[in-house]
Structure 1
Amino acid sequence: MLRAVLAIVVVAGLLAAGVAGTISALNRTVYSAGGFVEQYLDALARGDTVGALALGGVMPGTADLAAWGLTNEVAKDLPETLLRASVLGGLDNIELASTTDTLATDDGTAQTVVFDFDLNGTASSMVFTVERAGTFGGVFNAWAFSTSPLAVLQVSVLHERSFTVNGLTLDTRAHSAADAPATFSTSAAYLAFAPNRYTFEHESAMLTAEKATVRATVAGPTAVEVNALPNEAMVGQVQSELNKFLDDCATQTVLQPTSCPWGITIDDRIESTPAWSITAYPTVALTPGELSFEMGATPGQAHIVVDVQSLFDGDVSTRDEDVPFTMGLSVVVQPSGALAIQLH
């Protein structure tokens, strides 16, 4: 009987030691700081945004926003539009590089964790800070991010209000106050997953922006600029409207066409109806200004044919000559997509 009891005690001790060893092993791997961060990265790689956001400390708190230097205006109600699976992709070959103990922020331990990975085929890495968040099941370590791993993409869209990022088209003014004044260039900030690669662009009927790629591998603010500039269609339309305006001016049968950029003064008597034509249209080239796209003073050339009689000797002759002129203009793309052209 004693031998049987001793056997049971020995088996129980072995089982307890095995369980303790298993728990210890799990706390060093699956439930370690590195294991916690790997859960986050694996969720991003799978496009599991719900799982990623459910992890402790992923969403930035007030302390994170303040540490990132964001103004109250920017930090207030940061859009979560980009926290979606459709903009994720290209994260693989995830490997733990290092885990380093850091000073505790509370009564638990804090660690700095570095992971290496490939981001759309390019070797990259990211640093994460995590801290103990108690236990679960009474035995397994729980962790949370002490600094949110999310990025804040601060997008400036020059000369436009909309842009496309990873196939998703957004309007920077979607979260602005209803009475916010219209501006030539706009900006907005968005919460976004990191690590991830974001490609920004703009393509509309009148404006085109070259692609700008941002590799978000650091938590907090990352600035990106989308420079929307007039494309061939816009320049062509402005040129067509300008030419039409000048052609209409040329139909006026006076020496000084009204509201037109040229005219001629003749001291002799006019003996025929002045006939104007355009021999060289100003070539439209648009550059961004503070409030609109601008064409600076650009040369053009009109031509006049008119018979005149000299007041000196009465001779009649034909004035057949070129009349050079210069003109400029300003252009704004209206919300409807139509062009508002102001000549000057």
Structure 2
Amino acid sequence: MRRELVTWSVVLGLIIVAFATTVIVLNSTIYSSTGFVRSYLGALARHDMSSALEIADIYLPEEHGAASDGGAGATPIDTTGAGSLLLAGSHELLRPSALSSLEDIELVDNVSNPDGTETVTFSFELDGRPAKSSFTVIRDANNFGVFSTWDFATPPLTIVRLTVLNAQEFTANGSELVVPTQDVPSTYVVLTPSSFEVSHTSHYLKAEPIVVSATAPGDTVRARLDVVANEAMIAQVQREVNEYLDECATQVVLLPTGCPFGQPMSNRIVTTPEWSIADYPPVTLSPGSEPASWLMPATDAAAHLKVDVRSIFDGSVSTFDKDVSFSASYLVTFLPDDELLITAQYPQ
């Protein structure tokens, strides 16, 4: 009987030691601060937005991006912690389709802070570029009284203030979005870390893509996308301006009506004036004063006039055969179905 008791005591002791060892190992790996952050980063790497939000204890209302794109279910947002950051801007970039690629995740550092929090730093490849982020986490409670759980002391969210100049539409990592007002910063909430290639391509407009990186939780990143007229728009305006000036040149008067060129004369004309365009104004376009408008500034050009004239002094006849310089300016505005309205701008 004593032998069996000793045997069971040894077995129980081994079980307790094994359990304690397991708890220590799990608390130093899976249930550690670094394991907690690694789980969050792993969810981002898998583009598992729902799990990433759940790990970070971030919940969105149904009408916002993540909930309608595979994200967490609806839960009222509080006004502290993650909730205060979520209230700071649009959630349209909190969607799986807008997430970055996250690879080669490696632990860099883990520092215990005097206030009981820990700062965990990981390095990684963010959309192919080396980057790193530091997360401050705090011990929350114990599962089953033994396994540690953690929360982000600073929620892994970054504020992006994006200004889209001269347009409202843009794409971020392929997702098509619209800012409320062009030329004014719009605020978006994104998960940290994130990287977005922001660009614009449309029938008449383009923008050189910019990369917006968000790697610091709680930080604010500012970016500007400069949308300009593309080659197709410039070519279309050039074509229509040239046609307009050619039409002006068909008028057989010294001062063609509604046209930017003309040649007054004190002598009497003998033959019909013949106009042609010697140099068309090269079109350049800059943003106009009103949204969806573009301005071609006053640009030098030249028309050619050939006409015989009789002197009012001695009656002699001579030929006026010269280039007549002028400048042309036009306002271009968008119409439905990708049409352009081109309006001549005359000096006041």
Alpha-carbon distance in structure 2 between the residues aligned to 1:237 and 1:187: 31
Alpha-carbon distance in structure 2 between the residues aligned to 1:255 and 1:196: 64
Q: Find the residue that maps to 2:42 and give its secondary structure.
A: helix
**Which residue of 1 is the match for residue 320 of structure 2?**
319
CA 1:56–1:278 in 2, change beyond 3 Å: closer, same or farther?
closer
| Deviation (angstroms), 1:112 | 0.6
Q: Which amino acid aligns with 1:230?
A: A
Alpha-carbon distance in structure 1 between the residues aligned to 2:83 and 2:35: 28
**Which residue of 2 is the match for residue 8 of structure 1?**
8
**Which residue of 1 is the match for residue 190 of structure 2?**
192
- Unmatched runs of 5 consecutive residues or more in structure 2: 60-76
Q: Which amino acid aligns with 1:201?
A: S
Alpha-carbon distance in structure 2 between the residues aligned to 1:324 and 1:191: 55
Does the CA contact (< 8 Å) of 1:151 and 1:222 recur in 2?
A: yes
Does the CA contact (< 8 Å) of 1:152 and 1:221 recur in 2?
A: yes
CA 1:55–1:152 in 2, change beyond 3 Å: closer, same or farther?
same
Q: Which amino acid aligns with 1:229?
A: V
The CA deviation string for residues 25-83 of structure 1, in whole angstroms up to 9 with x for no partner, is: 21121111111000001111111111101114446974558998xxxxxx647332222
Does the CA contact (< 8 Å) of 1:293 and 1:330 recur in 2?
A: yes
**Which residue of 2 is the match for residue 277 of structure 1?**
276
Q: Find the residue that maps to 1:160 and give its secondary structure.
A: coil
| Deviation (angstroms), 1:102 | 1.8
| Deviation (angstroms), 1:342 | 3.3
Alpha-carbon distance in structure 2 between the residues aligned to 1:63 and 1:138: 27
Alpha-carbon distance in structure 2 between the residues aligned to 1:98 and 1:88: 25
**Which residue of 1 is the match for residue 174 of structure 2?**
167
Alpha-carbon distance in structure 2 between the residues aligned to 1:92 and 1:34: 17
2:91 is the counterpart of 1:91: no
| Deviation (angstroms), 1:244 | 1.8
Selected match of 2:119 from 93, 100, 112: 112
| The 10-residue stretch of structure 1 (255-264 or 309-318) with the greater mean CA deviation from structure 2 | 309-318
Alpha-carbon distance in structure 2 between the residues aligned to 1:76 and 1:263: 61
2:300 is the counterpart of 1:299: yes
**Which residue of 1 is the match for residue 247 of structure 2?**
248
| Deviation (angstroms), 1:123 | 3.0
Does the CA contact (< 8 Å) of 1:57 and 1:147 recur in 2?
A: no
Q: Which amino acid aligns with 1:338?
A: E
2:232 is the counterpart of 1:233: yes
Equivalent pairs counted in the alignment come to 325
**Which residue of 1 is the match for residue 158 of structure 2?**
151
Does the CA contact (< 8 Å) of 1:298 and 1:326 recur in 2?
A: yes
Q: What CA RMSD, in Å, does the superposition of the two structures yield over aligned residues?
A: 2.6
**Which residue of 1 is the match for residue 331 of structure 2?**
330
| The 10-residue stretch of structure 1 (155-164 or 212-221) with the greater mean CA deviation from structure 2 | 212-221
Alpha-carbon distance in structure 1 between the residues aligned to 2:57 and 2:199: 31
**Which residue of 1 is the match for residue 41 of structure 2?**
41
| Deviation (angstroms), 1:312 | 1.7
Selected match of 1:80 from 91, 94, 106: 91
Report the TM-score, using the length of structure 1 for normalisation.
0.84
Alpha-carbon distance in structure 2 between the residues aligned to 1:323 and 1:65: 68
CA 1:338–1:151 in 2, change beyond 3 Å: closer, same or farther?
farther
Alpha-carbon distance in structure 2 between the residues aligned to 1:158 and 1:282: 26
**Which residue of 2 is the match for residue 53 of structure 1?**
53
| Deviation (angstroms), 1:101 | 1.4
| The 10-residue stretch of structure 1 (212-221 or 55-64) with the greater mean CA deviation from structure 2 | 55-64
Alpha-carbon distance in structure 2 between the residues aligned to 1:194 and 1:265: 69
| Deviation (angstroms), 1:268 | 1.9
Identity %: 40
Alpha-carbon distance in structure 2 between the residues aligned to 1:281 and 1:199: 39
Alpha-carbon distance in structure 1 between the residues aligned to 2:337 and 2:160: 27
Alpha-carbon distance in structure 2 between the residues aligned to 1:206 and 1:54: 42
Q: Which amino acid aligns with 2:112?
A: D
Alpha-carbon distance in structure 1 between the residues aligned to 2:170 and 2:336: 14
Alpha-carbon distance in structure 2 between the residues aligned to 1:113 and 1:81: 28
| Deviation (angstroms), 1:99 | 1.3
Alpha-carbon distance in structure 2 between the residues aligned to 1:195 and 1:255: 68
Q: Find the residue that maps to 1:299 and give its secondary structure.
A: strand
CA 1:53–1:66 in 2, change beyond 3 Å: closer, same or farther?
closer
Alpha-carbon distance in structure 1 between the residues aligned to 2:92 and 2:336: 22
Q: Which amino acid aligns with 1:213?
A: V
The CA deviation string for residues 92-117 of structure 1, in whole angstroms up to 9 with x for no partner, is: 2212222111243xxxx311111122
**Which residue of 1 is the match for residue 210 of structure 2?**
212
**Which residue of 1 is the match for residue 343 of structure 2?**
342
CA 1:274–1:80 in 2, change beyond 3 Å: closer, same or farther?
same
